[in-house]
Structure 1
């Protein structure tokens, strides 16, 4: 019985999300911030995309503009592929984003110290390794030892 539960759990955790994910290609027509942009599909559908598993600094936080510029330099006016995982409560596509020669935008932002691994919604070990290395190398936002994660910053603004 324990084996059955174990293998069922593995299936649900690793396989099911892939069954429901959707690959979408399109042209990036607008950058909202470091982790959100607009994608125009070949069917002229405009999709607001939010990067999965990462969180970039909020507009008034340090490195917000650098994160936005990094995302713009990487994908603006480019044809890219997103792997949509789900929709959020705002109707945005939560997705992994691939550009260039299969570069993962979320990974590249974290690697360069311009985003946090959003561990509340992710258990991606690669992202955690990239964040640990960026932190150790004091890249980007990790230059400031008192940097505040965006989810904490938003929480403080609400209080």
Structure 2
């Protein structure tokens, strides 16, 4: 049986099986040959790749677990959403932030565009679920801060954070919310 790109995309909506896509005209060719499989593996390594994955777990408001890859070669990937930092476990507002991400992404296909790998081996990636940019969604709802390390690469996020803060959305309802990077620092020095 051969599959074309359009068949793979259509099949994703009907199956929990995650699929792999990349910006490449070669993927419109049949990909069941040995050469096609090699091309898919090669494209999986490209940083500009677009992965269509199934989100199978949520760690916190900015981290998730997804199953990605071509049929027969799917792998679990730990992902961190690029541009945001959500409350850590045991930090105030953590459960609400995590629930917000789960409501948007858990058990649905997600478009993942890896950007880099962090020191924990997670892919830092732009993530879309249900057609919504996850970073924008979380910041707009007051579920995460703009991560200052990446603020210059996501100029769309600071104005959304300012609006969420002004309207006391989510974590901004707290009179003095503690950014996760400060909370982590305090936890490290408390030991």
TM-score, normalised by the number of residues in structure 1: 0.84
Q: How many residues align?
A: 140
Q: Which runs of 5+ in 1 are unaligned?
A: 1-18
CA distance in 2, matches of 1:54, 1:114: 10
What secondary structure sits across from 2:151 in the alignment?
Answer: coil
**Are 1:26 and 2:56 counterparts?**
no
The equivalent of 2:85 in structure 1 is 55
CA distance in 2, matches of 1:71, 1:142: 17
Residue 143 (structure 1) aligned with residue 173 (structure 2): yes
* Bigger Rg, structure 1 or 2: 2
Partner of 1:158: 188
Encode CA deviations 1:9-57: one digit per residue, 9 max, x unaligned.
xxxxxxxxxx843211111111111111111014311110101110000
Q: Counterparts of 1:157 and 1:24 in 2: how far apart (Å)?
A: 35
Alignment of 1:9-158 (within 5 A): 20-42=47-69, 43-100=73-130, 102-123=131-152, 124-158=154-188
Gapped regions of structure 2 (runs ≥ 5) = 1-45
SS in structure 2 at match of 1:120: helix
Are the equivalent residues in 1 in contact too, given 2:63–2:80 (CA < 8 A)? yes
Cα distance in 2 for residues equivalent to 1:47 and 1:22: 14
After TM superposition, give the deviation of residue 144 of structure 1 in Å: 1.2
